[in-house]
Amino acid sequence: MPRRGWRRMNNIELLFSSPAIAGGLLIDGILFGSIFALIAYGLALVWGVMNIINVTQGEFVILGGFAAVVMADNGFHPLLAVPVAALVLYVLGRLLYRTIIHRIVDRDLFTSLLATFGISIVLQQLMNIVFGGDPRNADAGLGVWFAFDYSIVLSKVKLLAFVLAIVVGAALVVFLKMSRLGQAIRATAQNARAARVVGIDTNRVYEATFALNAAICGAAGALAATAYTIHPYIGLPYTVRSFMIVIIAGLGNIGGVLAAGLGLGAAEYYAGFILGAEFQIAFVFGLLVVVLLARSWWLGRKRRYLK
């Protein structure tokens, strides 16, 4: 359709003619990406340490979100739910590990994919029964800052998510480097058998890792419920985006995860603005393919040197 093409050219023009729009979009995109970066930390951790691709990430997020909604309904400030959701999900993470996950740690990827997928379906239906299927939102009432006659509007909740993404990222780096448990986690990730040989209780390490991931997801979810809307079946986009961020950043690279998360958010927003919302996600997936191709080419090139 020529009219559509013409519209897209106009969108690009609009972007160049108004720095406020371009800047606002950049900021919105980065803030949008920060929640996904948070979730991706946890995924990278579980994947790297336990070799499990946890498809339940999204449902953990939504559960955290419902914690915020429930607290808001009962008169608490929804932001109080950030630590509460983290705690609740931490306990749930431990519980899930002891009942199910510990059985699949050493199995192949297919088993763990299937098992976590099963858990995600059960969680979805449980949330639907307990909280209902309606889209919910917990308004933190923090309001916005704005500039340039509302061309740039900065939501304080999203800004908080951004700050938390950076703080949690930094804390994770420090935790993994400095603390005994963190060192044990790293040792287990490098070589579980050797870690057991030197006396690390890898089972405990796995449990802590999985619960830590759930806690991070819960905190992210409480923020997602205040910044966006949630319902029991909206977990998948969170799982998929965090998966993509980890693919792009690589495992064991917290800084990379943060950069990939924020960058992807911004890229997605520019794509959505120029191409229209229907191509927003398609663009991200396209980008994923390009990154994977580029990476395989880059690695292949190195391999030739080694020969």
Partner 1 sequence: MFRVMKFAAAAVIATGAMAGTQAFAADDVITLGAAVSLSGKYSTNGEHTQRGYDLAVQVINERGGVQVGDTTYMLEIKYYDDESTATRGAELAERLIQQDGVNFLLGPYSSGLTKAIAPVTEQHGVPMVEGNGASRSLFTSGYRYLFAVLSTSEQYLASAIDLAAERAADLGKAPNELTVALAFENDPFSQDVRAGVVEDAQRHGMQIVIDDKLPKELNDMATTLTRVRALQPDLLVVSGHARGAATAIRQIQEMRVDVPMLAMTHCDSAKIIKEFGDAAEYTLCASQWAPTLTYQDDLFGSAADYAALFEKTYDYAPPYQAAESSAAVMTFVDAFQRAGTLDRAAVRDALAATDMQTFYGNIRFDETGKNIAKPMVLYQVQNGAYVVVAPSEWAAADPVLPRPGWADR
- Min separation Cβ 34 and partner 1, Å: 13
Q: Which of residues 9-28 bind partner 1 (CB under 8 A)?
A: 11, 14, 18, 21, 24-25, 28
Are 61 and 235 in contact, with CB atoms under 8 Å apart?
yes
Binder among 109, 130, 144, 194 for partner 1 (CB under 8 A): 144
Tell me the two tokens of residue 180.
């005994």
- Min separation Cβ 232 and partner 1, Å: 8
Mask of contacts with partner 1, 26-55, x by CB under 8 A?
A: --x---x-----------------------
Tell me the two tokens of residue 277.
């919302």
Regarding 60 and contact with partner 1 (CB under 8 A), the answer is no
Mask of contacts with partner 1, 151-180, x by CB under 8 A?
A: x-x-x-------------------------
Report how far residue 156's alpha carbon sits from residue 250's, in angstroms, rounded to the nearest whole number.
30
Regarding 61 and contact with partner 1 (CB under 8 A), the answer is no
Binder among 6, 83, 146, 170 for partner 1 (CB under 8 A): 146
Residue in 258, 23, 266 with CA at minimum distance from that of residue 164: 258
Report how far residue 66's alpha carbon sits from residue 43's, in angstroms, rounded to the nearest whole number.
20
Binder among 51, 111, 128, 203 for partner 1 (CB under 8 A): 128
- Min separation Cβ 67 and partner 1, Å: 17
Regarding 230 and contact with partner 1 (CB under 8 A), the answer is yes
Size of the site for partner 1 (CB under 8 A): 43
The residue range among 187-195, 210-218, 242-250, 268-276 that interacts with partner 1, by the rule CB under 8 A, is 268-276
Q: Which residues contact 234 (CB under 8 A, 6 or more apart)?
A: 58, 62, 135
Regarding 104 and contact with partner 1 (CB under 8 A), the answer is no
Binder among 76, 117, 175, 228 for partner 1 (CB under 8 A): 228
Which amino acid type is present at position 50? M
Binder among 34, 116, 137, 242 for partner 1 (CB under 8 A): 137
Are 224 and 136 in contact, with CB atoms under 8 Å apart?
no
Q: Which residues contact 109 (CB under 8 A, 6 or more apart)?
A: 51, 52, 53
Binder among 6, 150, 285, 298 for partner 1 (CB under 8 A): 150
Alpha-helical segments (H) within 228-253: 235-249
Are 31 and 162 in contact, with CB atoms under 8 Å apart?
yes
Tell me the two tokens of residue 78.
């929804």
Return phi, psi of residue 107, to 5°.
Answer: -80, 175
How many other CB atoms sit within 10 Å of the CB of residue 283? 16
Q: How far, CA to CA in Å, does 216 sit from each of 36, 61, 67?
A: 11, 9, 14
- Min separation Cβ 131 and partner 1, Å: 11
- The residues binding partner 1 (CB under 8 A) are 4, 7, 11, 14, 18, 21, 24-25, 28, 32, 125, 128-129, 132-137, 139, 144, 146, 150-151, 153, 155, 228-234, 236-237, 269, 272-273, 276-278, 280-281
